[in-house]
Amino acid sequence: MKLVTYQSNAGDAQLGALVGDQVINLAQASGGKLPSDMRSFLELGDAGLQAARDAVDGNAAGATVALADVKLLAPIPNPSKVVAIGLNYMDHILETNSKVPAIPIMFTKYTTSIIGQGDAIRWDPAETAKVDWEVELAVVIGKRAYRVAEENALDYVAGYTVCNDVSARDLQSEKGDQWIRGKSLDTFCPLGPALVTSDEVADPHNLGIRCIVNGETMQDSNTSQLLFKIPHLIAYLSRAFTLLPGDVIITGTPPGVGAGRKPPVFLKGGDVVTVEIDGLGQLTNPCVEG
């Protein structure tokens, strides 16, 4: 299933299943059995997913709206946390002549940075002049995970979506080593367009992944290049802290970020950034300075 969080007529956020160009309201189609927000839905675990499948397969005609008539929000607008992994693509490590990390490099993006499809990435040019893109595979946790073994780790994944780990390079490094501040500016975490459930992703470690800026492909790789694979990340993180349903792990970015180009390229007002992963969809956001 492709699960979305959406708004129609500027109303409250709703939980939907995307079927072709139609969105089925899951709370309505399930006769009120399912909640209207993704986090509560994921907390229901496998029973929730089954109820959603039943609702989609049943008579959902009265609960259906055209995708063109709604606004998509981030599929999980309010996770308890976004855990981010740095320097995790072998092709990126080789390109930058970096040392291969011995353990995953971990930071966070505050959840207030999350935006959805079509929302503007916005920054104050007095605060940063080096805004960069990073396409990343985002893993969404489906079950409470603490001290999970690598062998079972994928059982804790609800599904996958696409993230743009937008990064202010000057704040991240040049003005002091402040990764979290430089990556947590409001609007710096576009997420979406949909949460694609695990059963629809045959191999998350073999997906084409790209970033396109103003029509030009800047990043083009495959998740097969991931150094620390998803089960290892879940096991490693959950040895330290609990991952809750709805938590998002973004798994690092492939080569081609603006800061690594010669000469470097940074985003400016009016630019349009698309991040995409095969099977998961495309997420497009315009840039606004001010």
Per CB under 5 A, residues contacting Zn ion are 134, 165, 253
User: What value does the CA radius of gyration of the chain take, rounded to a whole number of Å?
Assistant: 18
Q: How far is CA 12 from CA 6, 25, 113, in A?
A: 8, 12, 20
In terms of CB distance, is 26 or 138 closer to Zn ion?
A: 138
Nearer to Zn ion, 119 or 165 (CB): 165
- In order of 84, 140, 160, the CA distances from 198 in angstroms are 20, 9, 7
- Residue of minimal Cβ distance to Zn ion: 165
* CB 137, min distance to Zn ion, A: 11
- What's the longest Cα–Cα distance across the chain? 57
- Cα dihedral value 123, 124, 125, 129, nearest 10: -50
Q: Give me the least distance between CB of 35 and Zn ion, in Å please.
A: 31
- The contacts of residue 247 (CB under 8 Å, 6+ apart) are 79, 80, 81, 82, 83, 140, 141
On whether the CB atoms of residues 93 and 218 are closer than 8 A, the answer is no
- Residue closer to Zn ion by CB (options 148, 249) is 249
Torsion sign across C-alpha atoms 227, 76, 187, 272: positive
CB of residue 163 to Zn ion, shortest distance in Å:
8
Q: Are 29 and 40 in contact (CB under 8 A)?
A: no
CA–CA distances in Å: residue 212 to residues 47, 143, 191: 38, 33, 15
For Zn ion, give the closer residue by CB, 30 or 187. 187
How far is Cα 22 from Cα 124, in angstroms, rounded to an integer? 37
Beta carbon nearer to Zn ion, 119 or 134: 134
Give least dist CB 201 to Zn ion, A.
20
**Shortest distance, CB of residue 252 to Zn ion, whole angstroms?**
6
Minimal distance, residue 250 CB to Zn ion, in Å? 6
CB nearer to Zn ion: give 4 or 121: 121
State the minimum distance, in angstroms, from the CB of residue 67 to Zn ion. Answer: 29
Min dist CB 70 to Zn ion, Å, is 29
Nearer to Zn ion, 22 or 108 (CB): 108
Distance CA 286, CA 122 (A): 9
Cα separation values, 34 from 119, 156, 198, 202, 246, Å: 27, 20, 20, 27, 16
Estimate to the nearest angstrom the gap between the alpha carbon of 177 and the chain centroid. 24
Nearer to Zn ion, 16 or 104 (CB): 104
